[in-house]
Structure 1
Amino acid sequence: GKMGKRKDLSEFDKGQIVMARPLDQHISKTAALVGCSRSAVVSICQKWSKEGTVAYSKLYKSAMKVKVLCRNPDDYIRETSKDIQRVPRNYDPTLHPFEVPREYTRALNATKLDRIFAKPFVASLDGHRDGISCIAKHAKSLATVLSGACDGQVKVWNLSKRECLRTIQAHEGFVRGMCSRFCGTSFFTVGDDKTIKQWNMEAPGYGVREEPLTTILGKAVYTGIDHHQTEGTFATCGQTVDIWDEQRSSPIRSFSWGVDSFSCVRYNPVETELLASCASDRSIILYDMRESAPLKKVVMQLRSNTLCWNPMEAYNFTCANEDYNLYTYDMRRLDTPVTVHMDHVSAVLDIDYSPTGREFVSASFDKTIRIFPKQSGHSREVYHTKRMQHVICVRWSMDNRYILSGSDEMNIRIWKANASEKLGVLTSREKAAIHYNQKLKEKFQHHPQVKRIARHRHLPRDIYKQKRELREMKEARRRKEQNVRKHSKPGSVPLVTEKEKHVVTVVE
């Protein structure tokens, strides 16, 4: 039949023509299907395409906008099968209420676990036949340690294998002091036989007799020795403080300040020309190797047994005193100590700083070892065992992880500097967990429950009773001073602080 005109087409037919165009259907087939001419199909498609574009644009503007989800595979896919599963997290604080209570609970649990895993004792080195009188660290090797005993015997130890490498009969009587040369090739010893001996750090060959490299016979007993940090000179103390050159058999300089004897001499590790000594007249004397006379001294109420310089702060040193306390001084202002460290219940015999300079360890006649932060008046840790007797000497290892102590019952003990530290290799997750728990404990360290658990230590009965007795005596003295001040003329009884009452005078 005859093709109908375009205007005779129904809306349905027009819709079919428009829908057929996107399908790439041929115009002739579309015209035959609908029953119209080809020109009608072309004109309808053109008209409807223009109207449809305008209609669709209006519809798009009025319609709701939809955001397409797009995520980076690196944020949720593991790189290898050994990685932990990545968990998507939203850190919006409104979605995570009670953050601080949760952190407090974690800090409390971390503090409890810290005390549960506190196993500080590592090993014991036995082999000496008399009490340990001194310990010296190797200048270059972490694993090598030297020890001297009261019978004149010197032993060289390997800490990694926990075995004795060499045994030397160095002196007759006590070994009073030891030190390693700054390069680590040899070490020096002094003893009751009035001799200074230099020994090779390497053991002699098989069958070769052990002989010192040099021997210097002195006029009096030497009680201490220390080596310069960078030069071939060393200092000894006895009746005087002597400065020696390794190539000479007589001292190049001697210092004395009307004192009978000295018990300790130490070089400053930072300002290497400075050194300090503890004297029997209760004084601590400072020297400069470039001067011909001592610099100044501070006289205390009781005698100081030994001292140690802070390896990171050139002007600060700490002395171990007979009055059960330790005193940290700034050498520029000796009239008042910077800090008074109290906790021991008997005389403090030795002290050594950690390589970081933030803490130090002390050995006492009360059979304990205590670790003090440098700015704290009380110890953060106390170590003791049933078998350990009077602790004569103590050293902090150069890797800041271990503490060595020598005591009367002929043993050298190795302790962890951090009692709950895990030894061995740590995974990255363990390191992250330890670091996180440490920060939590620091954040909540002043909360009563956390502080109580962190500070609690079990002490031997004797030490516990002595601490209680000392506390009662101190409280009685304080109460008596208050009563005297209350019933005296105002200003007649001055208020003396704890730092000032232990210093007698400073002599320039």
Structure 2
Amino acid sequence: MKVKVISRSADEFTRERSQDLQRVFRNYDPDLRSQEKSVEYVRALNAAKLDKIFARPFIGAMDGHVDAVSSMAKNPNHLKGIFSGSMDGDIRLWDLAIRRTVCQFPGHQGAVGGLTVSTDGRVLVSCGTDSTVRLWNVPLPSLMDSGDIFNSEAKEPLAVYVWKNAFRAVDHQWNGDLFATAGAQVDIWNHNRSQPVNSFEWGIDTSISVRFNPGEPNILATSGSDRSITLFDLRLSSPARKIIMRTKTNSIAWNPMEPMNFTAANEDSNCYSYDARKLNEARCVHKDHTSAIMDIDYSPTGREFVTGSYDRTVRIFQYNGGHSREIYHTKRMQRVFCVKFSCDASYVISGSDDTNLRLWKAKASEQLGVVLPRERKKHEYLEAVKNRYKHLPEVKRIVRHRHLPKAIFNALHLRRVKTDSERKKTENRRAHSAPGSVAEVSVRKRRIIQEVE
């Protein structure tokens, strides 16, 4: 007679990290789970509600400047360090973990127009309205982590370049030794030379912002006070392409994951995403702000970007979304002049007119601190369930709902009334005119007046 012995391992029927909880075996056969969609819909609904309950995006404010924060820059080699410049010429290095000033860089006699850090993270470049460009030595991350507070009097610039016009913005080349400044013209500088190695201008208007392309080091985009967006190639002696819009562009940001695309923050309270290879129309129009957008910055993932506006709010957009997924505001925060995504895409930093830098979570309901593996799996499951049922009316209503300040709520309502009125007027004109006499122009092409090559 043969006897078969049944043997079982304890690891097969108990969960990891705990020997007292029984593992639940599930059969995913749809015939056995007839109520699967109903159960998951309720879970998606509850997950959307819990996200609203646990939404606490504001982490803290960093107070130290005595004037409005005008510019910011992040160090690509140090996760928790960020530089800020104010209207009184003060430049500070902040430690985001402790929210304190680590180092000060005094020197500018006017407002700091722009800040940027070299790709190797060793040199900080600043420019201002005092017509000077200053190069600073960036403190080592090891010294910052040790908690040493640097003496502000000991920080002297590595070099000071004096020029004939004020500067509005500066940006450093990716994987190179060049940096560009925007002012009366676009100047290209080298660390080792006190004069620009090249200068570009297309017209006589002032350049407002400048950004190097992350994929092609010799391509840069600028915006001017003549409502233009211009693409330059350092290998050519003349600008490459130029478009003129109806309103001025205050800032430009390239998508780090799709270097051919960039987004322009415009004065008409909209953002416009363009493909550098096809500038005759915008790829996407991002709406929701009620006043001029002052700054924009992409997440390192390239899937989102953050904007700061004159309407005293910070918004986060999907790279291909027409409306914002988050809006951050406080009662004390004034006009936002600069915003940045952290290097790990987990936080957003904003600098405003009330002299404060504010630290926000990129995901309002995200849990800070250590997350256990089982917790992480549950968060991922709930996020997947929400994405699966986000098109249903009740889930969609909860996910999209935002509490807005009264002024912004009224401004959005007024804008909606104006938009509907213009659309109805155009439809009536087209209906009572000869066929083809009233051209239908999409919103993506309507904002461009002229394209110059």
1:290 pairs, out of 232, 235, 239, with 235
Moved segments of 4+, more than 4 Å: 67-71, 77-83, 203-208
2:323 pairs, out of 378, 383, 408, with 378
Matched, 1:277 2:214: no
Partners of 1:207 and 1:171 lie apart in 2 by: 14
2:130 pairs, out of 193, 201, 208, with 193
Matched, 1:348 2:268: no
Once the two structures are TM-superposed, the CA of residue 424 in structure 1 deviates from its matched residue by 0.8
Partners of 1:405 and 1:367 lie apart in 2 by: 11
- Name 1:119's counterpart in structure 2: 56
1:468 pairs, out of 413, 416, 421, with 413
Relative to structure 1, the CA distance from residue 81 to residue 132 in structure 2 (aligned partners, 3 Å threshold; closer, same or farther) is closer
- Name 1:229's counterpart in structure 2: 174
Code of the residue aligned with 1:442 in structure 2: it is: N
- Name 1:94's counterpart in structure 2: 31
Partners of 1:417 and 1:202 lie apart in 2 by: 27
Secondary structure class of the residue paired with 2:446: coil
Partners of 2:152 and 2:89 lie apart in 1 by: 22
- Name 1:38's counterpart in structure 2: none
Matched, 1:478 2:423: yes
Provide the identity percentage.
Answer: 46
Alignment map for 1:13-28 (pairs within 5 Å): none
Partners of 2:386 and 2:392 lie apart in 1 by: 10
Q: 1:380-434: per-residue Cα shift (whole Å, max 9, x none)? A: 1111110001001000001010000000000000000000000111001100100
Quick check: which one's helix share is greater? 1
- Name 1:179's counterpart in structure 2: 116
- Name 2:336's counterpart in structure 1: 391
RMSD in angstroms over aligned alpha carbons?
1.9
Partners of 2:402 and 2:16 lie apart in 1 by: 47
Secondary structure class of the residue paired with 1:488: coil
Partners of 1:95 and 1:458 lie apart in 2 by: 42
Relative to structure 1, the CA distance from residue 83 to residue 307 in structure 2 (aligned partners, 3 Å threshold; closer, same or farther) is farther
1:427 pairs, out of 355, 362, 372, with 372
Q: Which runs of 5+ in 1 are unaligned?
A: 1-66
Alignment map for 1:27-46 (pairs within 5 Å): none
Relative to the length of structure 1, the TM-score reads 0.84
Once the two structures are TM-superposed, the CA of residue 258 in structure 1 deviates from its matched residue by 1.1
Relative to structure 1, the CA distance from residue 77 to residue 208 in structure 2 (aligned partners, 3 Å threshold; closer, same or farther) is closer
Q: 1:463-493: per-residue Cα shift (whole Å, max 9, x none)? A: 0000000110111111111111122111111
Contact 2:68 2:86 in 1 (8 A): yes
Partners of 1:408 and 1:179 lie apart in 2 by: 20
Partners of 1:76 and 1:178 lie apart in 2 by: 58
Relative to the length of structure 2, the TM-score reads 0.94
1:327 pairs, out of 250, 266, 272, with 272
- Name 2:144's counterpart in structure 1: none
Once the two structures are TM-superposed, the CA of residue 68 in structure 1 deviates from its matched residue by 7.2
Aligned residues: 444
Partners of 2:270 and 2:15 lie apart in 1 by: 57
Once the two structures are TM-superposed, the CA of residue 173 in structure 1 deviates from its matched residue by 1.4
Matched, 1:145 2:82: yes
- Name 1:264's counterpart in structure 2: 209
- Using the TM superposition, name which of 104-113 and 205-214 deviates more: 205-214
- Name 1:507's counterpart in structure 2: 452
Contact 1:278 1:304 in 2 (8 A): yes
Partners of 2:439 and 2:304 lie apart in 1 by: 34
- Name 1:29's counterpart in structure 2: none
Contact 1:152 1:169 in 2 (8 A): yes
